[in-house]
Structure 1
Amino acid sequence: MSLFDLSGRSVIVTGATKGIGRGIAGVFARAGCNVAVAARSEAEIEACVAELDALGAGKIIGIPTDVSSRESCDAMAAAAMDAFGVIDVVCANAGIFPEASLPTMTDAQLSEVLDVNVKGTVFTVQACLDGLTASGSGRVIITSSITGPITGFPNWSHYGASKAAQLGFMRTAAIELAASGITVNAIMPGNILTEGLVEMGEDYIAGMTRAIPMKALGTPEDIGTLAAFLATREAGYITGQAIAVDGGQVLPESPDAIPA
């Protein structure tokens, strides 16, 4: 076995049909993994499965999943176990980021974000515990964000709270699952060029690009590459850690610190 060999490993990626999730799923597929594409839209799942099938030698399946439902997450894990016989890696990536200002945020808006981003992460991990334990070297990789744990942005206080909550969950889950050989880590993306970011408009993208020392937005594959490393057997002594992938965005203390 070569260094960082992931071939044959079985992976679930939630929210895998677009954006960061699709980038993560693509990296694992190209590495020869079996990949379960979990998302809500069956049409988007079919398109994603067809695309991933052409990338590698692993088995690619689609599983309609609503991570805010414990029953749906349980069914997702059961389907992956039926298809693969084991769950080696779980990428709890599904998330939403609707806007809502603090003065106007409703109970429903707050609950929607917490149900998907926080409960969805917990439900996903709980559902997959038997499969991860059977792996003997299970890996949980959570997609958090720099927004909430490190930075803030107007109209995303509920989103920021949910992303910080994921890290609180990660740290205790890492302790509880260590004895089973399961690691739990998180990736905190900065501004990644996804469909959702494009919808924010050219002015937003230009402003964010100026705020990044590397002068470029990240790609979904940048997140997938780190997820793949954290999924390796060689990364088995890394657990309970949150790693920012942001081109240095959180480093400058003011815009003046970034060279022209």
Structure 2
Amino acid sequence: MKHQDQVVLVTGAGQGMGQEIVRHFADAGAKVGAVDINKEALTASVDELNGSVNGEVIAITANIAKSDSVRDAIAAVVEKFGRLDVIINVAGVGSFDTFIDTPDEHWDKVIAVNLTGTFLCCREAAKVMTKQGSGSIINVSSTAALTGEGPSHYCASKAGVMGLTRSISRELAASGIRVNTIIPGPTNTPMMADVPDEWTQKMIADIPLGRMGESEDIAKVASFLACDDSGFITGQNIAVNGGMAFI
């Protein structure tokens, strides 16, 4: 199996894209630390997966916007499995605010989870991977960061993720660590369920391939970036959006 015994940590693993990525890697034989702030949803997901996948999945409740919580989550994976080969930073939040009416607390929360949380996860994972001399860090941005079609806090946070990837990929390359970003287009996830239907239909109309993305589309690209097939790829922002926007 492609990821046999590879140790992977996935944030935002309780539902949607993160949950599917956990399933994809565990099906391929990986040992996965599934991280989410929602303990109930995470536990239910992991219990279901462990009865149906080839690898092993453990549930870790954590708030990725808090450095101590991130440190503890990564330590739990290393303690259980002995190493950390891949981290996939999926966790994200958003809210539907116009720029002028964005409350401070909404801006702070979106930046804290989407950008600061990704930074903290990258930093703590890199500490482990540097000692190993290898690793793959995979961040998740959004096509909204390319088009600007979305709330300002969300677009800014996801654009920041791409800049973070470019910077740390250069710094970490000498340690054998690759860092890349996946940029999904509109994807069928629980987060999209809150988007008004007229917005959804407009987004689909803007996608040349004529459909929404599926979580499996993202999981397959993450799988590629996590294995030796992509061994000469780092610092890249890879759009998986049906042709909706270009980098």
The question of whether the paired residues in 2 share the 8 Å contact of 1:26 and 1:55 is answered with no
Q: Deviations over 1:172-203 (max 9, x none)?
A: 11011111110000000001011111221433
Which residue of 182, 189, 194 maps to 1:187? 182
**1:247 match: secondary structure:** coil
1:177/1:225 CA distance change after superposition, 3 Å: same
Q: Deviations over 1:58-97 (max 9, x none)?
A: 2210100100000000000110011110000000111111
Higher alpha-carbon deviation: 133-142 or 108-117? 133-142
Partner residue, 2:236: 241
CA distance in 2: counterparts of 1:31 and 1:78, whole angstroms: 23
Are positions 1:178 and 2:173 aligned together? yes
Partner residue, 1:99: 96
Gaps of 5+ in 1: 252-260
Which residue of 147, 150, 153 maps to 2:149? 153
Largest Rg, 1 or 2? 1
* One-letter code aligned to 1:215: G
Q: What is the RMSD computed on CA atoms of the aligned residues? A: 1.4
The question of whether the paired residues in 2 share the 8 Å contact of 1:143 and 1:189 is answered with yes
Q: Deviations over 1:208-244 (max 9, x none)?
A: 2222111111101100100010000221210000011
Are positions 1:226 and 2:221 aligned together? yes
Q: Map 1:27-66; keep pairs closer than 5 Å.
A: 27-66=24-63
The question of whether the paired residues in 2 share the 8 Å contact of 1:88 and 1:131 is answered with no
The question of whether the paired residues in 1 share the 8 Å contact of 2:182 and 2:238 is answered with yes
1:145/1:214 CA distance change after superposition, 3 Å: same
CA distance in 1: counterparts of 2:229 and 2:207, whole angstroms: 31
Q: Deviations over 1:159-179 (max 9, x none)?
A: 100001111111111011111
Q: Report the CA distance between 1:134 and its aligned residue.
A: 4.2
The percent identity for this pair of structures is 35
The question of whether the paired residues in 2 share the 8 Å contact of 1:29 and 1:55 is answered with no
**1:95 match: secondary structure:** coil
The question of whether the paired residues in 2 share the 8 Å contact of 1:86 and 1:134 is answered with no
* One-letter code aligned to 1:49: V
CA distance in 1: counterparts of 2:47 and 2:131, whole angstroms: 29
Which residue of 136, 141, 151 maps to 1:139? 136
How does the TM-score come out when normalised to structure 1? 0.91
Gaps of 5+ in 2: none
CA distance in 2: counterparts of 1:196 and 1:15, whole angstroms: 12
The count of aligned residue pairs is 246
Are positions 1:74 and 2:71 aligned together? yes
